[in-house]
Amino acid sequence: MGVMFDTDAFYKASCDANFVKVADIARNIAWTTQTEWGKLQITINLSKPEKDPRAIAAAAKAGPSEKADYIDPATGRARPCPLCVTQADVDCGYAKRIDLAGDPWALWYSPYAYYNEHCIAMSWEHRPMHIDRAAFESLFDVVDALPHYFFGSNADLPIVGGSILSHDHYQGGRHTFPMEVAPLSESFDMPGFPGVQAGIVKWPLSVIRLRGANRKEMADAACVILDAWRDYDDQSVGIVSHTQDVRHNTITPILRRNGDAYEMDLALRCNITSEEHPLGVFHPHEELHHVKKENIGLIEVMGLAILPPRLQQVMEERSMTRDDVGHAFAQVLEHAGVFKWDEQGREAFRRFIGVL
Ligand SMILES: [Zn+2]
């Protein structure tokens, strides 16, 4: 599969039509902080308006070139679901229609981009997020079609997923995230997959990186890891895969091309809660909530913090410098890691690798 459309032209048209709010995005505050995990990227997002019903009502009265992702371009009304696409979106040039894994999807650029050429691919059908073989196949399809973009999916469970679990979607774009340049701390073989190089990424979250040129072998290897992880328990480090029928383990997958090979990062996630950590054991703990208490989704997993405007005030009140916030974000990511970087955590990670 080659490029399905010219992303340069589509992106430029989206900016020119003000679908991508270039001027608003320019107001965001951004910096990097050097940490033991590399240079983390921090943004305070001043561009995206709060979801105030009055703002939605005002936007509904605006012309078609003023629409945002919550506004239906055909009717000017707020969308019942922010990711439900209509033919009107395609007709007005807001969205492109694509096919992934035999299913109709659409792609548009995020109005309030968090990074360069931040795009969202969403299923045409309104259906929940799911991490499974079909999701991996769709990621390979979209990266094959747009090999200059990465694509990844949020996890499909609360606490460890993104803010929208109800509509199947991926995020992509042209940006190098800190996780992508993080090295492997160790390599391992996956039995039955001689063409796949596997390793543990030196990263605060628990990430397995697969690299290989054969798409089918890569997808099969990813499925082996997902299947094993879904049912994996390790009480010694607090990993609980199920409470009765409720599933806690899932994966945040990211796929990109690297030269002739595919590179896939699989972040292992577990949304178990406890009395001590009612919002999540592998979630930023209370002492970090002044910086971050929302879900750690795909983009933050990769090392780009999206912080709300209130952070400016927090920094003033607590006399925090930008680097203090950057280091707090590193801790946020450490809390989200299921296998910590102490001896016990490393041994536990190797025990999981041992069952693959
Ligand atoms: Zn929807």
Rounded distance from Cα 131 to ligand 1 centre (Å)? 17
Task: Quote the pLDDT of residue 72.
Answer: 60
Q: Which two tokens stand for residue 78?
A: 């707020």
Output the pLDDT for position 269: 98
pLDDT per residue over 39-80, tens digit each? 999 999 888 754 444 444 444 444 433 334 566 655 566 777
- What lies within 8 Å, CB to CB, of 350 at 6+ separation is none
How many angstroms is it from 184 CA to the middle of ligand 1? Answer: 37
For range 326-355, the mean pLDDT? 98
pLDDT at 75: 59
Q: Which CATH class is domain 58-111+113-173?
A: alpha beta
32 CA distance to ligand 1 centroid (A)? 34
- How many angstroms is it from 176 CA to the middle of ligand 1? 29
Whether the per-residue pLDDT at 311 is higher than 80: the answer is yes
Q: What is the pLDDT of residue 274?
A: 96
Task: Give the pLDDT confidence score for residue 67 in this predicted structure.
Answer: 38
Amino acid in the structure at residue 131: I
Q: What is the pLDDT of residue 79?
A: 74
In angstroms, what is the span from residue 163 Cα to ligand 1's centroid? 13
**Would you say 284 and 336 are in contact if contact means Cβ atoms under 8 Å apart?**
yes
Q: What is the pLDDT of residue 63?
A: 41
**What gap in Å lies between CA 291 and CA 308, rounded to an integer?**
9
Task: For residue range 254-290, list pLDDT tens digits in order.
Answer: 999 999 999 999 999 999 999 999 999 999 999 999 9
- Residue 162 CA, ligand 1 centroid: distance in Å: 14
Q: Report the separation in Å between the CA atom of 82 and the middle of ligand 1, taken as the mean of its atom positions.
A: 6
- What is the crossing angle of helices 310-317 and 322-336, to 10°? 110
Q: What is the pTM of this model?
A: 0.93
Say if residues 296 and 333 touch (Cβ distance below 8 Å): yes
CA of 51 to the centre of ligand 1 (A): 17
Kindly report the average pLDDT of the chain as a whole number. Answer: 91
Per residue in 196-229, pLDDT (tens digit) is 999 999 999 999 999 999 999 999 999 999 999 9
Distance from the alpha carbon of residue 202 to the mean position of ligand 1, in angstroms: 36
pLDDT band of residue 8 (cuts 50, 70, 90) is very high
120: Cβ contacts below 8 Å, ≥ 6 apart: 83, 107, 108, 109, 110, 169, 170, 171, 172
Residue predicted with more confidence, 77 or 172: 172
Task: Compute the distance from residue 73 Cα to the ligand 1 centre, in Å.
Answer: 15
What pLDDT, on the 0 to 100 scale, is given for residue 82? 85
Distance (Å) of CA 89 to CA 68, 163, 165, 290: 11, 22, 22, 38
For residue 79, the CA-to-ligand 1 centroid distance in Å is 9
Per-domain boundaries in the chain: 58-111+113-173
Mean pLDDT of 13-19: 92
